Chains A and B, each alone.
Chain A
Amino acid sequence: EADIYQTPRYLVIGTGKKITLECSQTMGHDKMYWYQQDPGMELHLIHYSYGVNSTEKGDLSSESTVSRIRTEHFPLTLESARPSHTSQYLCATQGRFEQYFGPGTRLTVT
């Protein structure tokens, strides 16, 4: 079993609030990813990191930002949440060949 954790699992928050979605892993993997997935739709890569102090934007433009200060943590931040940010956010790490996904955070902005 892969050890990748995301908190919170569910978050309902009002417009304009700053939020941080946590992602942590205990496998020591260098490569980590954030995907966004709307209900019934495909996953889109929004951020990735190849190691500490390395972050890049993914294929889908996102107003969120990420940081990678430690190998274990890859948090995602929204400075001012808006209803259009309502979605599921999935974090993943890269093993030798396969990606391990966390359970996701389902975000609802009211």
Chain B
Amino acid sequence: DAKTTQPNSMESNEEEPVHLPCNHSTISGTDYIHWYRQLPSQGPEYVIHGLTSNVNNRMASLAIAEDRKSSTLILHRATLRDAAVYYCILSRGGTSYGKLTFGQGTILTVHP
């Protein structure tokens, strides 16, 4: 399975944008890029996903490089509630879609 690489931790100030990077240089053509986050003492929560094009939803935006070897999760205005571990995960399309391999993720700290 293709792996992802993320920084161990990042910090942001409240109400500022946050750009969380993810490298996935061995991504295959059928791999979807997913982002989940896990708040303290909770199960993971879906944030966004994409295949080739940039994506926007109410929580965040996902910018995917043209060669798909990297992507960036963008939180447009960080709040204290956004402090969490953010996971960038590849999931192959087809029957095995949904088998997620979580890495260490990026610990995001948001300062008031």
The residues of A with any CB-CB pair to B shorter than 8 Å are 31, 33, 35, 42-45, 48, 50, 58-59, 90, 92, 94, 97-104
Contacts and interface: CB of A to CB of B under 8 A. Distances in A.
Interface residues of B, number: 19
Q: Is the interface of B mostly helix, strand, loop or mixed?
A: loop
A99 to B, nearest CB: 6
Nearest to B48: A98
Interface string B36-58: 10000011111001000000000
A99 B104 contact: no
Contact of A42 (B34, B43, B103): B103
Interface stretch (B8-16, B20-28, B72-80, B93-101): B93-101
Contacts of A98: 34, 46, 49
B38 to A, nearest CB: 8
A90 B76 CA distance: 29
The DSSP consensus for interface residues of chain A is strand
A45 B49 contact: no
Contacts of B49: 97-98
A3 to B, nearest CB: 14
Contact of A43 (B34, B46, B102): B102
A99 B101 contact: no
20 contacts: A35-B102, A42-B104, A44-B102, A45-B100, A48-B98, A59-B101, A90-B44, A94-B97, A94-B98, A97-B46, A97-B49, A98-B34, A98-B46, A98-B49, A99-B36, A99-B98, A99-B100, A102-B43, A103-B42, A103-B43
Q: Which of A48, A90, A99, A100 has the most CB of B within 10 A?
A: A99
B11 to A, nearest CB: 18
Nearest to A42: B102
Given A31-B98, A33-B98, A94-B98, A100 B103 contact: no
